[in-house]
């Protein structure tokens, strides 16, 4: 069983930001989930190195383009490493093999007479790196996605891919495969984009304007349009056109933000159809993060959440947890350093970290450093155990992008019950009295066994912290395929050192 998950490849005209961190972390969570189910995984993430925007960013810094790209590429890689994103392949579109494969794809489409050369006058948005129709622009004639980057009037001769011959076929594919675009709101948005005849897609840029790109194989005066080249990464990462690409490609799922639905939902499937290749299995689309109060993040407002700053202050898992837990499927979600800190304190620190340290410290001091042996279980013990099993079951099943918040929410709700349980049972008081001392052992056993299940489940979301917690519980190996299972820790197990999981931050 294979699963191939891709993230967008990010423009390198600036440093990695929270949006980039988000999609790549979600991809990593899905990867860990599917690995837990026993799948073989391929996760690609990386950078989109071509196009006018990147070219101008290098010019602004006065750096030679290769040096600039190397610098940014190292920066993105480093951030993803720090975020515990376990990518299998880090994409760089400047790689020779990628460029050759892109040129091969273009030539094959050109040979089918699906590419035409013509003169075009239009409005260009550098932010989107695409031509815009009048109806795509705001009232004052700007791109709604990049209001601060003036659109440009451009008149050029370029090469265009014929799109309209494929529109009906694509609509039929969407109708026949309800899972092709998820969630349904974005599927409907895509159908809307395909409701009217499609204009030809400009797939080249004259070298006079852009040099940073893949040279067209049939006209060396031009480079390939950055989106055409970038989308092809999904194939070139898995060695297309080598036949070995096929088993991965069949299972390919693209994670994308809603901003790039059109290139992925319209351009990419049509490029593939034109090249005679199968379509990816699925497009999983997410909404965006905005600042607190629903305001778009911007440097001038000062509400930009820098992933590095959050990691330095609160640790990587504070960020991973917030992003996993608070993204809403159907609308934009709010983020700020304060919101992340609050969630960190209320959930990770109060419900998980304290719980582990309290129970494990107690076991270490009163039960000879060991997990006690449990006695007979009460109805309350059984109820808690069932709650935890139910709440964690979702991590033992296939998770789709849109499921992540609900599955993490279920776990933290169970952790809250676990806290209530231990407060109410108060093993520390039970221990003081000879008559109830045995009972205190059972309570500590039940609590720590439940916490083990919670932490095993959370390995998919906050792997570093969950790993530390499991080390304290002396769990060295987690079975695959993973399912929440009671009593896997025998009473008498030696407990490991207690490492502070989520230290309190000022
Ligand atoms: N280079 C293209 C993608 C080519 S893929 C073949 C591109 N790059 S980008 O740097 O602009 O990254 C866009 C992606 O970053 C979004 O689709 C999304 O995955 C992520 N995000 C950017 N801003 C975001 C938010 N505010 N919130 C959530 N994710 C966002 O487009």
The string of DSSP letters for 224-285 reads E-HHHHHHTHHHHTTTTTSGGGHHHHTTEEEEEEGGGHHIIIIIHHHHHHHTT-PPPSEEEE
CA angle 23/25/29 to nearest 5° reads 115
CATH for the stretch 309-472: 1.10.730.10
Residue intervals in the chain for CATH 3.40.50.620: 2-286
Other C-beta atoms within 10 Å of 123: how many?
18
Cα separation, 501 vs 352, in Å, equals 8
Residue nearest ligand 1's atom 27 by CA: 288
Residue nearest ligand 1's atom 24 by CA: 19
pLDDT of residue 363: 94
pLDDT of residue 235: 98
Contact 50, 229 (CB under 8 A): yes
CATH for the stretch 2-286: 3.40.50.620
Beta strands in 109-251 (DSSP E): 115-125, 130-132, 152-161, 181-182, 201-202, 204-206, 215-216, 219-224
Whole-number Å distance, alpha carbon 69 to ligand 1 midpoint, is 18
Contact 419, 388 (CB under 8 A): no
Q: Which residue out of 17, 20, 52 has the highest number of ligand 1 atoms within 8 Å of its CB and is therefore the one to mutate?
A: 20
Residue nearest ligand 1's atom 16 by CA: 257
Cα separation, 45 vs 81, in Å, equals 11
pLDDT of residue 47: 98
Nearest ligand 1 atom to the CA of 233 is: 6
Q: Which residue out of 11, 15, 18, 19 has the highest number of ligand 1 atoms within 8 Å of its CB and is therefore the one to mutate?
A: 19
Whole-number Å distance, alpha carbon 460 to ligand 1 midpoint, is 23
User: Which residues on neighbouring strands pair with residue 48, listed in sequence order?
Assistant: 11
Whole-number Å distance, alpha carbon 19 to ligand 1 midpoint, is 6
- Establish whether residue 502 lines the binding site of ligand 1, counting it when its CB lies within 6 angstroms of any ligand atom: no
Whole-number Å distance, alpha carbon 257 to ligand 1 midpoint, is 6
Whole-number Å distance, alpha carbon 41 to ligand 1 midpoint, is 23
- Establish whether residue 254 lines the binding site of ligand 1, counting it when its CB lies within 6 angstroms of any ligand atom: no
pLDDT of residue 84: 98
Helices and strands, number each (H, E), in the chain: 20, 15
Residue 299 burial by CB count (10 A; 0-12/13-18/19+): exposed, middle or buried?
exposed
Residue intervals in the chain for CATH 1.10.730.10: 309-472
Specify the 3-state DSSP secondary structure of 334. Answer: strand
> Which H or E element spans position 319?
helix 316-326
- Establish whether residue 9 lines the binding site of ligand 1, counting it when its CB lies within 6 angstroms of any ligand atom: yes
Contact 405, 328 (CB under 8 A): yes
- Establish whether residue 226 lines the binding site of ligand 1, counting it when its CB lies within 6 angstroms of any ligand atom: no
- Establish whether residue 335 lines the binding site of ligand 1, counting it when its CB lies within 6 angstroms of any ligand atom: no
User: Which residues on neighbouring strands pair with residue 116, listed in sequence order?
Assistant: 160
- Give me the count of residues in the chain: 506
- Establish whether residue 260 lines the binding site of ligand 1, counting it when its CB lies within 6 angstroms of any ligand atom: yes
Question: Shortest CA distance to 440 belongs to which of 353, 388, 350, 365?
Answer: 365
pLDDT of residue 259: 95
Whole-number Å distance, alpha carbon 297 to ligand 1 midpoint, is 14
Residue nearest ligand 1's atom 19 by CA: 257
- Establish whether residue 257 lines the binding site of ligand 1, counting it when its CB lies within 6 angstroms of any ligand atom: yes
Whole-number Å distance, alpha carbon 11 to ligand 1 midpoint, is 8
User: Which residues on neighbouring strands pair with residue 291, listed in sequence order?
Assistant: 335
Cα separation, 265 vs 488, in Å, equals 45
Per DSSP bridges, beta strands 252-257 and 204-206 are unpaired
Specify the 3-state DSSP secondary structure of 10. Answer: strand
pLDDT of residue 149: 84
Cα separation, 493 vs 372, in Å, equals 8
Q: Which two tokens stand for residue 283?
A: 């497009």
Nearest ligand 1 atom to the CA of 255 is: 19
The residue written with tokens 């991809």 in the block is: 27
Residue nearest ligand 1's atom 8 by CA: 10
State the DSSP string of 283-309: EEEE--EEEGGGPPP-TTTT----HHH
For the chain, what is the radius of gyration of the CA atoms?
26
pLDDT of residue 66: 95
Cα separation, 348 vs 219, in Å, equals 57
Per DSSP bridges, beta strands 219-224 and 215-216 are antiparallel
Whole-number Å distance, alpha carbon 83 to ligand 1 midpoint, is 17
- Establish whether residue 381 lines the binding site of ligand 1, counting it when its CB lies within 6 angstroms of any ligand atom: no
- Establish whether residue 267 lines the binding site of ligand 1, counting it when its CB lies within 6 angstroms of any ligand atom: no
pLDDT of residue 374: 97
Please list the rounded mean pLDDT of every run of 10 residues in the chain (506 residues): 98 95 98 98 97 92 96 98 98 97 98 96 87 88 88 92 98 98 97 96 92 96 96 98 98 97 98 98 97 88 93 97 93 96 96 94 95 97 98 98 97 97 97 96 98 98 98 92 95 93 86
Quick one: CA dihedral 121, 223, 9, 52, positive or negative? negative
The residue written with tokens 């899905």 in the block is: 30
Contacts of 378 (CB under 8 A, 6+ apart): 442
> Which H or E element spans position 47?
strand 40-48
> Which H or E element spans position 96?
helix 96-111
Q: Which two tokens stand for residue 69?
A: 């790209």
Other C-beta atoms within 10 Å of 172: how many?
10
CA angle 87/91/92 to nearest 5° reads 150
Whole-number Å distance, alpha carbon 20 to ligand 1 midpoint, is 6
Residue 62 burial by CB count (10 A; 0-12/13-18/19+): exposed, middle or buried?
exposed
Cα separation, 94 vs 73, in Å, equals 11
pLDDT of residue 201: 95
Contact 384, 365 (CB under 8 A): no
CA angle 157/152/204 to nearest 5° reads 30
Nearest ligand 1 atom to the CA of 297 is: 26
Cα separation, 338 vs 136, in Å, equals 35
Residues annotated as catalytic (active site), given as ranges = 17, 20, 125, 128, 143, 146, 296, 299
Nearest ligand 1 atom to the CA of 288 is: 27
Specify the 3-state DSSP secondary structure of 490. Answer: coil
pLDDT of residue 505: 84
Whole-number Å distance, alpha carbon 14 to ligand 1 midpoint, is 12
- Establish whether residue 75 lines the binding site of ligand 1, counting it when its CB lies within 6 angstroms of any ligand atom: no
Q: Which residue out of 9, 16, 22 has the highest number of ligand 1 atoms within 8 Å of its CB and is therefore the one to mutate?
A: 22
């Amino acid at each position: 069983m294979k699963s191939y998950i891709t993230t967008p490849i990010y423009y390198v005209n600036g440093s990695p930001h929270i949006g980039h961190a988000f999609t790549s972390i979600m991809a990593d969570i899905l990867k860990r989930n599917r690995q837990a189910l026993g799948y073989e995984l391929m996760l690609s993430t990386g950078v989109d190195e071509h196009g006018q925007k990147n070219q101008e960013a290098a010019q602004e810094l006065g750096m030679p383009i290769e040096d600039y790209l190397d610098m940014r590429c190292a920066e993105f890689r480093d951030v993803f490493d720090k975020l515990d994103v376990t990518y299998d392949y880090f994409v760089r579109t400047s790689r020779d093999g990628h460029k050759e494969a892109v040129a091969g794809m273009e030539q094959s489409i050109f040979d089918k007479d699906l590419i035409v050369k013509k003169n075009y006058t239009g409005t260009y948005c550098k932010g989107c790196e695409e031509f815009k129709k009048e109806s795509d622009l705001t009232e004052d004639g700007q791109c709604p996605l990049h209001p601060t980057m003036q659109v440009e009037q451009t008149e050029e001769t370029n090469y265009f891919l014929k799109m309209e011959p494929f529109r009906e076929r694509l609509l039929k594919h969407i109708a026949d495969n309800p899972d092709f675009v998820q969630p349904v709101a974005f599927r409907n948005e895509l159908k809307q984009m395909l409701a009217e005849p499609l204009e030809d897609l400009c797939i080249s840029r004259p070298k006079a304007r852009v040099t940073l790109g893949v040279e067209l194989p049939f006209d060396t005066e031009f480079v390939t349009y950055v989106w055409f080249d970038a989308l092809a990464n999904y194939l070139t990462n898995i060695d297309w056109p080598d036949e070995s690409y096929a088993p991965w490609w069949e299972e390919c799922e693209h994670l994308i933000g809603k901003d790039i639905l059109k290139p992925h939902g319209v351009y990419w499937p049509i490029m593939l159809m034109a090249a005679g290749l199968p379509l990816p299995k699925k497009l999983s689309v997410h909404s965006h993060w905005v600042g607190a109060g629903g305001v778009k993040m911007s440097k001038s407002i000062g509400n930009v959440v820098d992933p590095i700053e959050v990691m330095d202050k609160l640790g990587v898992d504070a960020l991973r947890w917030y992003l996993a837990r608070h993204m809403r499927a159907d609308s934009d979600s709010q983020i700020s350093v304060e919101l992340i800190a609050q969630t960190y304190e209320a959930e990770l620190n109060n419900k998980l970290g304290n719980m582990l340290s309290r129970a494990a410290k107690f076991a270490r001091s009163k039960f000879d450093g060991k997990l006690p042996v449990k006695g007979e279980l009460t109805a309350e013990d059984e109820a808690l155990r069932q709650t935890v099993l139910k709440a964690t079951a979702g991590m033992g099943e296939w998770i789709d992008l849109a499921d992540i918040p609900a599955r993490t929410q279920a776990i933290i709700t169970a952790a809250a019950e676990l806290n209530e349980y231990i407060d109410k049972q108060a093993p520390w008081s039970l221990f003081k009295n000879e008559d109830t001392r045995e009972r205190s052992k059972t309570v500590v056993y039940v609590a720590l066994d439940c916490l083990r299940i919670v932490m095993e489940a959370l390995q998919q979301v906050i792997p570093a912290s969950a790993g530390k917690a499991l080390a304290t519980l002396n769990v060295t190996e987690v079975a695959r395929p993973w399912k929440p299972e009671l009593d896997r820790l025998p009473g008498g197990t030696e407990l490991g050192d207690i490492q502070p999981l989520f230290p309190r931050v000022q």
